[in-house]
Amino acid sequence: MDSVTFWTRPIFLATIFSALSSFAEKAPARKDTRSPADIEAATRLQVFLDRANFGPGKLDGFYGDFTRKALALYRESRGEQPETPGNPKSNAAPDVSGLDLATIDPVFITYKVTDADLQNVGEMPEAVAKQAKLKALPYRDILEEVGEKFHSDVD
């Protein structure tokens, strides 16, 4: 590979990524039209699956692809027929009949950040070699740590 080809590809890719990122910034945000009850129902199912060790991905209140796959695997593990997959882009509620979702109460809690939580937050060295020397990698901020603790995301 000659030096021109070597440098042309990264510049070409950088141009594409730059164009895509500027497009993404201009794209209108999708408005969330779900009711609080819909969000709670989806989150309740996600917590149920997570506690049963069928990871639904991040607990975000959406019936996303990971949640649907986790539900199908949960039902399959119980000898039940999994629901026929619908449109993965749809946020329509899946069939949750037969699931004891009432055991997940409350769905949401108020969490008070503790001093122990704050001890896990700190500066992250940029160099991988310096990161490798640390006993544990710190969280960048408290939101990242709490998000990890509760398998959720800041949105």
Same domain, 93 and 136: no
Q: For residue 83, what pLDDT is reported?
A: 77
Residue 146, pLDDT above cutoff 50:
yes
Distance CA 32, CA 155 (A): 12
Residue 30, pLDDT above cutoff 70:
no
Q: Is 138 or 87 the better-scoring residue by pLDDT?
A: 138
Q: For 122-140, what is the mean pLDDT?
A: 93
- What is the model's pTM? 0.68
70: how many CB neighbours lie within 10 A of its CB?
22
Asked whether residue 71 is assigned to any structural domain, the reply reads: yes
Same domain, 93 and 121: no
Asked whether residue 25 is assigned to any structural domain, the reply reads: no
138 beta partners: none
Q: For residue 92, what pLDDT is reported?
A: 84
Same domain, 87 and 131: no
Across the chain, what does the average pLDDT equal? 81
Q: For residue 10, what pLDDT is reported?
A: 41
Same domain, 83 and 122: no
Same domain, 44 and 98: yes
Dihedral over alpha carbons 29, 108, 142, 151 (to 10 degrees): -80
Q: Which domain holds residue 79?
A: 36-103
Q: For residue 155, what pLDDT is reported?
A: 62
Same domain, 52 and 92: yes
CA Rg value for the chain: 21
Q: For 46-74, what is the mean pLDDT?
A: 94
Asked whether residue 155 is assigned to any structural domain, the reply reads: no
Residue 29, pLDDT above cutoff 70:
no
Q: Is 28 or 2 the better-scoring residue by pLDDT?
A: 28
Sole residue written with tokens 């593990």: 77
Asked whether residue 8 is assigned to any structural domain, the reply reads: no
Q: Which long-range contacts (CB under 8 A, 24 or more apart) does 133-141 make?
A: none
Asked whether residue 78 is assigned to any structural domain, the reply reads: yes
Asked whether residue 29 is assigned to any structural domain, the reply reads: no
Same domain, 87 and 124: no
Q: For residue 24, what pLDDT is reported?
A: 46
Same domain, 76 and 120: no
Complete DSSP assignment for 72-123: HHHHHHTTPPPPPP--TT--PPPP-TT--GGGS--SS---PPPHHHHTTB--
Asked whether residue 109 is assigned to any structural domain, the reply reads: no
Asked whether residue 68 is assigned to any structural domain, the reply reads: yes
Q: For 109-132, what is the mean pLDDT?
A: 93
Residue 151, pLDDT above cutoff 90:
no
Same domain, 93 and 65: yes
Total tally of structural domains belonging to the chain:
2
